[in-house]
Structure 1
């Protein structure tokens, strides 16, 4: 008997020295319970309000984004704020949190690491308009004693943050400030901030526009200058270890009679305006942001965006931005009588939609574009937790995730060749480059990822019916992954089975094992869909794929109908869902396999202090096999993780996402928000993507006595609304042609003139 000792690190985990023995894997761990913080501030259906000025609370910071640009605003309303050592980011950077701005695709080369090659770079802060009077400054670090009648509002519907405050720096001066800020959904390279001042004194007042390079991370400054005559500020940076540059350009509209003077050796301009008591004065900044990922001259592109915005004006730009968001909000969920769920849904959808944009070349990271948690790298979060939600509601946005893998296919092929293997090898975690940093981590960590990538590609095809996309993008990825996995699991051993040695599942408390159930079951699925995708796309079909699908080994049952997590598993706690994923998203079936017993066995052993990824799957599987528990899991997927004042989600209940986590839990956790929405989409409807058409098997969770409506479910080019009541589910076609669904009563078709009605299963 041989053994292999390998030191590896799971996502966010300490190094584990793992002894892989053919008889099994032994692992001990200690659970760390987490606690949830309470909400604060006020909340309405479409907006969240903070009425307590908390400059050092990183959670009291609105997130604005359009899928290309993401930014966090400090509680003051704008500018750069560093929260210090007590609030740190997650693995791997573990640095003090700050209000950062990030541009999709703009990454630095990482410091030497066996795990990844790129980390996201942060841009200079663009949102600061600092107010000055009599030697005092209103800025993110303002003394809270000077702040009165504070109110900061995040309007989800229009994706606009509004900060209102009475600033009283001394007994002779009081100024009412209002900041209105948005990152344009209509213009991918534009952000806008309007500052309105109402003084209760007469005299001079100044406003400073500074593109603050102190906020930049993992970059070097290549330009920082100001042009007072044009009222324009410019900052440019180059990503470390890269030739990629990004520019931030601000163009200001200022009141009449305003004098402008450049701040020496900076990208700042100070505007001085004579004011009269009770008057109103408005400064508006139009900020263009671009990089070499979007053109050869990012400074010119950013300047054009800023000047174009200024020429159009605030009302026009904000109107176009709000209209673009309004189009997105035509889809969503209605749950009468559950105001709490309504708020959570709006916050979660806002979080997700702020982090993705149709036509972009990038996937969605665990924290979106809100922070550098997880260094902005791409994990299975995108394919497994975020993609299914987008696929059901916004397939054009979902395509960015599958296309990201397709565009990275040449690199994945090169990764495999570098280790002497055929096919495509995707790294567990990396930036857009998707390069393997080392064989230990790239080829031996979380290899179940390949099955989830292949599944997402296949689901996109069967949900959209886009055969041309399958031929040019999806099938090449799926079949290349199958080629890689064929080499990894072969040849057959004397028992007549294919084995995965070593392998890794999703449970980050076990770095390596033998014949991990999820990984092996996923391989079976990948082989089946590879053969089908190749057939449809006219690609060669490897006869070994069918053989692997039929004879892949699975670990023996640990309980009746329950496969062990891996060979030798003895029932230890797990960090997050692993084996239960065989039933969803994979449709694993085998003689004696019991999805409901597997669900109960493993959820009883899942760490409640782990990352917010498990409960949505519990809801979806419970809806299918144990409906009484569906509401329990839906509640668990959101309640413990939502934080005030803006109802964004944390990665974990406590400060760390599991006993082996490095750094504090991620904030804002887009994965968790998308997972919660995925549970709401797929649990009540029973929706599954399959050939020849989608399946529906509706039930109503017992916490929604007045029903639930899902608006804008997309199937191919058609769209339906699904209304689930205690007795009947009604599917109404709202756009496109007829759709045929697989239902418990057989195939049923919905048309423009004939809604489809099917019974709703009881949750009792």
Structure 2
């Protein structure tokens, strides 16, 4: 059954729009002094500027290294954290673990090798479209090229020579060298910490050479937040031997991809460079390095070997000096990077950047860099509570913020690729991921950074206009994947199936992002000069793209929605609703700017078909959808971010319908929008938390909380083009961040107010605070408590706040109190609902809590043929009936038992007089009952409380 947008309006009148995580981890070690200082600082968790002071880093490193002994750094991986997510730390080197630390400043990014510096290549083959071995790359935002591994020479992000190399050689009859390839067996007392708050990676270790000589080494690596074109590596070494040592500064061409060397040599002032030209796009650039020995080195008869001519996109220079046992020596390399995209003379500019940083010195450079990071962290998400789940969420949400902040920069006109500046996964190109998954969380707290996403679409307008014209449409057509110019045929990779032409919902995503930026900033100048041209061009595209039907409605035919398992369908519901939204928002923008919108825009918007099943009260994914498995979130996006008008029952039904049909091996971001939608439906129970954990826990990898695109080894079991999951998948991190910024808060921005509808699941009843949110020049905090929420305006004019309680105004010094919704507290006779559940094993994402969250669309699945689920009812209760509800069939057998103490268990067969606090269900033969490779799941365990006997009985 299909309705036009106009026809369904009357129907909707009055509606508004505990097992360990997969990343191996030791028990978190709390760094109390720094954490306490941060938590109590005025203005939020990150306002304590002293926490990034060098002495704080030194104290942390020394405290954490005490008692490590001389154990070898093999085995593992092992990891620690401070419990607040500021200092994720690796304590072992695992050669098979490619989830390496990362530094970035929004322009320049660099993976950091486990040994502290230099080039490494874990070797695992990446997925579509490049399908090349992984490596620790260095990337510049917006620097694209065409290389031989690309499909038909289409664009991919270029990779620079690795600039972190700083090797140590102990001279002698048999010289010994420490570099990125030194085996873990030669390394002890190892710690590598990613200081999230400060934007720096520190690696400390003891290297014992084959001849027994031991040297303590500390590497610090950063990409300067204040000077985008600068990076730096500081080495401090303490040899336990005497003699001669050489430190080699290396620009390593093994890290370069999709570029050709054009020159490079020694420059004045212990500086060298490598110059290059990107393949195909022919963009010139340079990487320069200035090596500065510290005074301890210069005092020991230091001699310098100047760099020669660059070779194979690499170059090196070195300093040799005498060392004494127990003395410490320091050397720092300062790196400059520039290209013709930002400088007419990139070689001179790169050299100037390196030497400018060297003249400032490490202390000044780091101080300003850390202060810039501190400013960013004035906006933060704080998860209160000491439970394992709360501590994990705190670490993960800060890792998510760090990933996005490291790959964005104010003033940039380059967007964010699915892996940001951490890798060349997805060819480093721009997808809908930017507007839909990463942008909203940034917009809520950092509109100056989010602006780069919408400005990129303005920058590539000429390419979009040329695409539309060549395809026979009017307006703007942005390619499904794009690089430097938005050219459909030279940049887009997905042609079989032809997503480059059929993923038309991207136009709706781009238009919505532009309108959202205006709502967040009320920057009318930007809207007139950049936003309106994009929105107008997209509205013109939709007006030329639709087909008029005999009944006067309009269809959009031959499209692919976000669900990439459906291709070439008609009237994709998210595509069509996005077109309606784009046409209507363009009309609003035109009115604001005194422009005249064509009458056809409203006519089309009011009559586009929106597939909807009235009997089921469910929106259909496309015309003719039959309930098949979908790859990822599609129809549920109607609720958020589109805010499509629908009844509360339609919201619940649509979410449950599609959540139960989503491929569990699909891309990682789906459950984040499920969590946001669940938070908004008001459905009794606590499925918001189930989806929240499903959106993050199965995907965390390594000590540094890297996000894998999929739970398993492939992002989509039914997608023949899916390959090894992207790392670090910022799309997923962006979706996860939105569960806090837009899910728990209910935040939606309006032109003249903000809408808030805060809620909490019981697992987070200690509270969640979002600090430093921004809206139209104002800054505010939202402190969500178990029963009430406080909104504090910390800067700017009074702000109107709309909530289910009505509209009120918050002013500085006069906080606003709202009710916190608690769907878990809704009346029920199921005494197991939202109680603590544990399991002997769980498939990733199919966690124990799903069996008692009140929602049959989620389920617990044991990670094996047998498993046991145990529920703590919180207090002794009279048990009336225990009823399991299964998904995907039933196991071969199962047994339910109860206990008063969690130790002694009794069988079922209750007459209403049995009192118990614990209930457990043991499953046998789940593997034998698999359907389509999926074990049966326990969708819901209902423990019905028996009626109290009548008095006197």
Instruction: Give TM-score, length-normalised by structure 1.
Output: 0.92
Give the root-mean-square deviation of aligned CA atoms: 1.9
Q: Which of 348, 352, 355 is the aligned partner of 1:307? A: 355
Helix, strand or coil at the partner of 1:288: strand
Q: Which of 326, 332, 346 is the aligned partner of 2:398? A: 346
| Counterparts in 2 of 1:537 and 1:173: CA distance versus 1, 3 Å | same
Deviations 1:36-89 (A, max 9, x none): 453431111210111112244211x111000000110110111111222xx122
Q: Which of 153, 160, 164 is the aligned partner of 1:123? A: 160
Do the aligned residues in 2 keep the contact of 1:114 with 1:437 (CA within 8 Å)?
no
| Counterparts in 2 of 1:114 and 1:145: CA distance versus 1, 3 Å | closer
2:334 matched residue in structure 1: 286
Aligned equivalents of 2:325, 2:368: Cα separation in 1 = 34
Do the aligned residues in 2 keep the contact of 1:614 with 1:637 (CA within 8 Å)?
yes
1:43 matched residue in structure 2: 81
Q: Which of 259, 263, 268 is the aligned partner of 2:316? A: 268
Do the aligned residues in 1 keep the contact of 2:145 with 2:282 (CA within 8 Å)?
no
Aligned equivalents of 2:155, 2:248: Cα separation in 1 = 34
Aligned equivalents of 1:404, 1:535: Cα separation in 2 = 25
The count of residues paired between Structure 1 and Structure 2 equals 725
Higher relative contact order (CA 8 A, sep 6+): 1
Helix, strand or coil at the partner of 1:221: strand
1:366 matched residue in structure 2: 418
Q: Which of 582, 587, 592 is the aligned partner of 1:531? A: 587
Helix, strand or coil at the partner of 1:88: coil
Structure 2 unmatched ranges of 5 or more:
1-20, 26-77, 825-953
Q: Which of 500, 513, 522 is the aligned partner of 1:465? A: 522
| Counterparts in 2 of 1:185 and 1:113: CA distance versus 1, 3 Å | closer
1:4 matched residue in structure 2: none
Instruction: Detail structure 1 runs of 4+ shifted over 4 Å in the superposition.
Output: 110-116, 590-593
Helix, strand or coil at the partner of 2:465: helix
Helix, strand or coil at the partner of 1:503: coil
Aligned equivalents of 2:447, 2:501: Cα separation in 1 = 32
Give the 5 Å matches for 1:293-692.
293-337=341-385, 338-437=390-489, 441=498, 444-490=501-547, 492-557=548-613, 560-589=616-645, 594-625=650-681, 626=683, 628-659=686-717, 660=719, 661-692=721-752
The structure with more radius of gyration: 2
Do the aligned residues in 1 keep the contact of 2:465 with 2:476 (CA within 8 Å)?
yes
Helix, strand or coil at the partner of 2:749: coil
Helix, strand or coil at the partner of 1:723: strand
Deviations 1:625-651 (A, max 9, x none): 126211111111111111121112111
| Counterparts in 2 of 1:252 and 1:727: CA distance versus 1, 3 Å | same
Aligned equivalents of 2:153, 2:653: Cα separation in 1 = 38
Residue 559 of structure 1 and its aligned partner are, at CA, apart by 5.6
Helix, strand or coil at the partner of 2:672: helix
Aligned equivalents of 1:96, 1:190: Cα separation in 2 = 27
Do the aligned residues in 1 keep the contact of 2:423 with 2:727 (CA within 8 Å)?
yes
Structure 1 unmatched ranges of 5 or more:
1-34
Residue 442 of structure 1 and its aligned partner are, at CA, apart by 6.6
| Counterparts in 2 of 1:78 and 1:557: CA distance versus 1, 3 Å | same
Aligned equivalents of 2:306, 2:464: Cα separation in 1 = 49
Aligned equivalents of 1:252, 1:112: Cα separation in 2 = 35
Do the aligned residues in 2 keep the contact of 1:88 with 1:664 (CA within 8 Å)?
yes
Deviations 1:495-554 (A, max 9, x none): 221111111210011122111111111111111111111111233311111111111112
Moved more, 739-748 or 70-79: 739-748
Residue 701 of structure 1 and its aligned partner are, at CA, apart by 2.1
Moved more, 699-708 or 388-397: 699-708
Q: Which of 267, 272, 278 is the aligned partner of 1:233? A: 272
Do the aligned residues in 1 keep the contact of 2:130 with 2:149 (CA within 8 Å)?
no
2:852 matched residue in structure 1: none
Residue 420 of structure 1 and its aligned partner are, at CA, apart by 2.2
Residue 706 of structure 1 and its aligned partner are, at CA, apart by 1.2
Do the aligned residues in 1 keep the contact of 2:716 with 2:722 (CA within 8 Å)?
no
| Counterparts in 2 of 1:110 and 1:531: CA distance versus 1, 3 Å | farther
| Counterparts in 2 of 1:564 and 1:641: CA distance versus 1, 3 Å | same
Aligned equivalents of 1:116, 1:390: Cα separation in 2 = 33
Aligned equivalents of 2:534, 2:308: Cα separation in 1 = 53
Do the aligned residues in 1 keep the contact of 2:502 with 2:558 (CA within 8 Å)?
no
Residue 592 of structure 1 and its aligned partner are, at CA, apart by 10
Aligned equivalents of 1:55, 1:236: Cα separation in 2 = 32
Q: Which of 799, 806, 818 is the aligned partner of 1:758? A: 818
| Counterparts in 2 of 1:121 and 1:559: CA distance versus 1, 3 Å | farther
